[in-house]
Structure 1
């Protein structure tokens, strides 16, 4: 068997750590999964425990009963530890970015796996994953905090990155730019003056400050108002499934990747 592509990560994981991303996948890509003839989802680099892969499987099965989920890990010991939890539609295999799953997946979720790579390597793996999905398939790649209260992820298709989503637990941050530490590897080093991502985060903080009086009604109302303020000058998604009140009230905000390119 060829050596898996990639390096072993720390493997940190925990219950509900990826709930925010899973919730987004269900809302945004549930229809994609239901429309696929044999929907396959890969959870790439699930870490030291099977937990988040099992949670993803359970959440996806509620909206697509025929979906299959495969957890892919580069560490043989982690795969061996996860296999006792396999069930119909859920399995675990040894592998890396080459995705040894038998057929092109409809969706790939890869969280907290690219932090240890350089920007050029991250772009390369994005390309590899985007080319590996089935026609019309997507990749959701991102990073979250240890308990999942802060997260940022990119949505990619065969053409490359398409969206960037910020997600935060209300009360889990002081200002939106606190999420900068969770930016994708392809962006995190570009958060400097003169770069679009820096300008966006600056405006995000400003809109948050402007809407501070609404904090009297709760963080949710302040976040919703902040999103509306930002949408006046940035192409923030304002309609379902990516945007609008239903997503904003959950502490999410999505904008097109093109807005962050120079």
Structure 2
């Protein structure tokens, strides 16, 4: 675990959690890592769906631990690429609005084997969450 995360998570009250993330200037693209005393638990990507041109744009707002690891061969790159490919495949759903296209996208990524957490109630909000281990870069999983 990164030293800053260790410092924050060890100072938590029982049952506490830290949300560490970032967003664009207008809050339309965001991502965050949920930390508890054991370390990072999940990664959430979120977008205002009416302004989302492609899930690949979410990569610009990845947390610091992942943003420089969004390169071929890294799990986060594979995940964002899977979302982006499913988004392109769901283009016919554009006629039903961006929310329906996003729902189709996340459903397809889950069906392809990505362990997407939560369900359509969160997806409708423009969110997708995975366990941290799914996207953790190798330099963090080996420490």
Residue among 82, 87, 95 paired with 1:203? 82
CA distance in 2, matches of 1:126, 1:180: 21
Pick aligned residue for 2:95 from 216, 226, 251:
216
1:144-163 correspondence runs (5 A): 144-163=23-42
| Structure 2 equivalent of residue 132 of structure 1 | 11
Q: Within 1, Cα distance between the matches of 2:120 and 2:66? A: 27
Considering Cα pairs closer than 8 Å and 6+ residues apart, tell me whether 1 or 2 has the greater RCO.
Answer: 2
Match in the other structure for 2:115: 235
Q: CA deviation at 1:234?
A: 0.3
Contact 1:165 1:253 in 2 (8 A): yes
- CA shift at 1:155, angstroms? 0.4
Cα separation, 1, equivalents of 2:130 and 2:81 = 15
* Bigger helix share: 2
Root mean square deviation of aligned Cα: 1.2
Runs ≥4 residues deviating over 6 A: none
Which stretches in structure 1 are left out of the alignment for 5+ residues? 1-119, 238-242
Specify the structure having the higher radius of gyration (Cα). Answer: 1
How many Å apart are 1:170 and its aligned residue? 1.4
| Residues 211 and 225 in structure 1, CA contact (< 8 A), matched pair in contact too | yes
Q: Distance in 2 between matches of 1:155 and 1:140?
A: 5
Residue 254 (structure 1) shift: 0.5
Partner of 1:246: 121
Q: What count of residue pairs does the alignment treat as equivalent? A: 136
Pair 1:173 & 2:52 matched: yes
